[in-house]
Each structure stands twice: as structure tokens, then as C-alpha cells.
């Protein structure tokens, strides 16, 4: 985690925390945002489980978070920030423009959701807009989310799929989730049916593709 220089920014600049696991992307975003006269990147982190501590230390106005991060997802961190630092607005910036991710981001209290292939000018504008209380969502993704409908998987079905990601056996999953093996089988079978796939690994991949996990 690095604190950025502050000398060239006005006293009322927007304080931004940046969470991105790819060093080159993180550095580029920090540099480009730092060129805006009213935006100051006060902290950068590479892992999801470092977000909340950094936010509590640096008190950013806006947390700009990737979703897929080591340690903890940006969505989980967003939900935690809502409880521990409610004045900090969260803007999700991700490569994966999945409708399921958008729904989960909004449920976690995010104020915005953008994909990384947009121009940096739009990102700077979005930072300013969420700080004024607006919700900023990529238009194409918003339309896709409306047409896709809600996540059909229950929390327990999602848990079972996540626990099977490393090839764990039903017995292993049962131990991890403190459930019986028959209950785990039922959850997995239900998830397979809802995703229209043939087995739990396909179900997990489809659920991830949709942004449900």
C-alpha cells in the first residue's frame, strides 16, 4: 500500500482509495486520476482484505474497487465498508461486465459500476458524480442486468459451488460448510439444474460467468 503525493492538489480535492491487483493497471489508474486537479489518490492496495484497513486509515471520499482481488472480493469489501465507513462512496471498476456482478454490487451498497474499457475521463466524472450522491452505472450493463433477471441460486447453493472450486469431494464440502453430505448433494444438484449444466464444475463456471459467485 502506498500513499500518493498530495502537494499539487487543492485542499478540497476528492480523496480516492484505489484497489487493483494488477500493478501496471493500478499505477496507470493512479497516475491518470492524479492528473485531475480535484482528485487525489491517497492510497493504493493490491488485495481485497487490505481495503477496509486502508480506508479506515486514509478516510477516502471514494473507494474505487476491482471485483476479483486476492484475499477478499471487492464486492465483499464494499459491503464491509458500508458498515464501517458509511460516508465513503464505493465505485466498482472491473474487467468483467456481468449482470450478476452489478446486482451484487448494488446489494453491497456500491454507488457505481463501470467497466475498465471506458475512457479515463468518464471515470473521473463518475468519481465526482458518486460523491454528490448519484448512482453511476454503465448503460449497456444496466440494460443487460434488467434482461438477465435475478440470481436464481440460493446462498447455500452458491456456498456449495464455491466450496467445490478446488475439486473438493462432497465429503470435503460437507465438512467445510458444516452440513451433511446428502444436503450438499441436494444443493449441488439444485445448482446444476438451475444453471442448465451437466455437473457441478460446469455449474460453477456458468455461475461465475453470470456473476452469481
Mind listing the pLDDT tens digit for each residue in 3-23?
444 445 555 799 999 999 999
The three cell numbers of residue 116 are 475498465
Q: Model-level pTM? A: 0.68
pLDDT at 143: 57
In this structure, are residues 33 and 118 in contact, taking their beta carbons and an 8 Å threshold? no
Q: Helix (H, G, I), strand (E, B), or coil: what is residue 167? A: coil
The three cell numbers of residue 132 are 454528490
- With a cut of 50, list the residues of the chain below it in pLDDT: 1, 3-7
pLDDT at 3: 47
Question: Which residue intervals of the chain are DSSP H helices?
Answer: 23-34, 51-58, 74-84, 99-107, 120-131, 139-148, 155-163, 170-177, 181-195, 200-210
For the CA atoms of 124, 127, 132, 138, the dihedral, rounded to the nearest 10 degrees, stands at 100
In tens, the pLDDT along 90-105 reads 999 888 777 788 888 8
pLDDT at 95: 81
In this structure, are residues 52 and 77 in contact, taking their beta carbons and an 8 Å threshold? yes
Amino acid at each position: 500500500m502506498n500513499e500518493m503525493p498530495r502537494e499539487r492538489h487543492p485542499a478540497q480535492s476528492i480523496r480516492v482509495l484505489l484497489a487493483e491487483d494488477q500493478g501496471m493497471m493500478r499505477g496507470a489508474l493512479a497516475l491518470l486520476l492524479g492528473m485531475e486537479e480535484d482528485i487525489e489518490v491517497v492510497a493504493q492496495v493490491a488485495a481485497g482484505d487490505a481495503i477496509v484497513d486502508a480506508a479506515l486509515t486514509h478516510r477516502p471520499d471514494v473507494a474505487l474497487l476491482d471485483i476479483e482481488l486476492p484475499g477478499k472480493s471487492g464486492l465483499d469489501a464494499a459491503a464491509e465498508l458500508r458498515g464501517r465507513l458509511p460516508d465513503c462512496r464505493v465505485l466498482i471498476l472491473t474487467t468483467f461486465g456481468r449482470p450478476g456482478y452489478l446486482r451484487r454490487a448494488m446489494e453491497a451498497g456500491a454507488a457505481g459500476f463501470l467497466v475498465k474499457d471506458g475512457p479515463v475521463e468518464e471515470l473521473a466524472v463518475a468519481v465526482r458524480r458518486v460523491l454528490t450522491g448519484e448512482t453511476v452505472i454503465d448503460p449497456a450493463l444496466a440494460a443487460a442486468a434488467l434482461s438477465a433477471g435475478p440470481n436464481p441460486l440460493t446462498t447455500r447453493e452458491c456456498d456449495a459451488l464455491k466450496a467445490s472450486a478446488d475439486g473438493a469431494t462432497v465429503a470435503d464440502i460437507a465438512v467445510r460448510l458444516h452440513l451433511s453430505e446428502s444436503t450438499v448433494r441436494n444443493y449441488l444438484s439444485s445448482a446444476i439444474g438451475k444453471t442448465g449444466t451437466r455437473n457441478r464444475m460446469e455449474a460453477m463456471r456458468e455461475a461465475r460467468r453470470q456473476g452469481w459467485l
